[in-house]
Amino acid sequence: MRANTLKVAVAEHRPIINGWLAIPSSYSAEILGHQGYDAVTVDLQHGMIDFASALTMLQALSATPAVPLVRVADDTPARIMQLLDAGAYGVICPMISTAEQAQRFVSACRYPPQGTRSFGPARGLLYGGADYPQHANHEILTLAMIETREGLANIEHILAVDGLDGVFIGPNDLSLTLTGTASAESTHPNMLSAIERVLSCCRNKQKIAGIFCTSGAAAAQRIAAGFNFVTPANDVMQLGRASREAIALARAQDIPTTGASGY
């Protein structure tokens, strides 16, 4: 089976830089996949992406060096299994609040006896190779999103779930619940201590510590703080920013920091 290079990067203590796709386009997926990201995630939660689009985006990513990942809309096992069959090499699952929920998520990603994934690997075979069924349980990456108050409280139990590779902080949702305001770079003391807690638990259990960021500079700061899986903004944010910069340069004006998309 094609090795999951993200697992190799983690073993070698190299941080993973993960692109993020919210626009339903195989062309966008292909472009991002060729930019040097270690992984690119197709976002079926807040992205404008249905299964049919996700399939073509995973196909496009297959022709690039980036490892194809998905963020699912929720922890429904059937949908997780279908996206793995479509060739996702890893799943990011939002709003994980308890160890039981994390267990159900991981189980959907693992064939028996370790889990309950139904057999029908489909594109998994085309992308991964003929021996995909024998190795998929080891190669498929599983990241539980920590972005609820309960998830933060249960972080140690969640990280103890066998087969879970790590966690990915959703800083907007987490800050919304902890401070009343959604902000990916919040410096509210409650957020700072929440992030420190997640980082130290991941360090202790040697699990992946991931987080969504709003820029490359913000991602660099997160890596310096100890995160080893960062997303330096999504396609919408990057497209908006690049457009504002081009317009401002053409008009010889200052570049506005935020645009209509809110970033």
* Contact set with Mg ion (CB under 5 A): 147, 170, 173
| CA atoms of 76 and 103, how far apart (whole Å) | 12
Output the smallest distance, CB 170 to Mg ion, in A: 3
Letters for 204-223 (x = contact with ligand 3PY by CB under 6 A, - = none) are --------x-----------
Letters for 169-198 (x = contact with ligand 3PY by CB under 6 A, - = none) are -xxxx----------x--------------
Is 117 in contact with 140 (CB distance < 8 Å)?
A: no
Output the smallest distance, CB 145 to Mg ion, in A: 6
Size of the site for ligand 3PY (CB under 6 A): 7
Please identify which residue in the block is written with the tokens 């270690």: 38
Kindly tell me which of 164 and 184 has the beta carbon lying closer to ligand 3PY.
184
Which is nearest to 43 in space by CA: 83, 10, 100, 5? 83
46 is catalytic: yes
Q: Does 165 bind ligand 3PY (CB under 6 A)?
A: no
For 138, the token pair is 């080891």
Which is nearest to 106 in space by CA: 49, 98, 238? 98
For 41, the token pair is 């995630």
Kindly tell me which of 9 and 211 has the beta carbon lying closer to Mg ion.
211
Q: Which residues contact 229 (CB under 8 A, 6 or more apart)?
A: 15, 16, 18, 143, 166, 168, 208, 209, 210, 211
Taking contact as CB under 6 A, which single stretch among the options 55-63, 164-172, 187-195, 216-224 is the one that binds ligand 3PY? 164-172
Angle at 228 between CA 243 and CA 193, to 5 degrees: 95
Kindly tell me which of 30 and 75 has the beta carbon lying closer to Mg ion.
75
Q: Does 147 bind ligand 3PY (CB under 6 A)?
A: yes
Q: Is 46 left (phi over 0), alpha (psi -120 to 50) or beta?
A: alpha
| CA atoms of 214 and 194, how far apart (whole Å) | 18
Catalytic option among 46, 135, 138, 157 = 46
Taking contact as CB under 6 A, which single stretch among the options 8-16, 81-89, 117-125, 168-176 is the one that binds ligand 3PY? 168-176
Q: Contact residues for ligand 3PY (CB under 6 A)?
A: 147, 170-173, 184, 212
- Catalytic site residues? 46
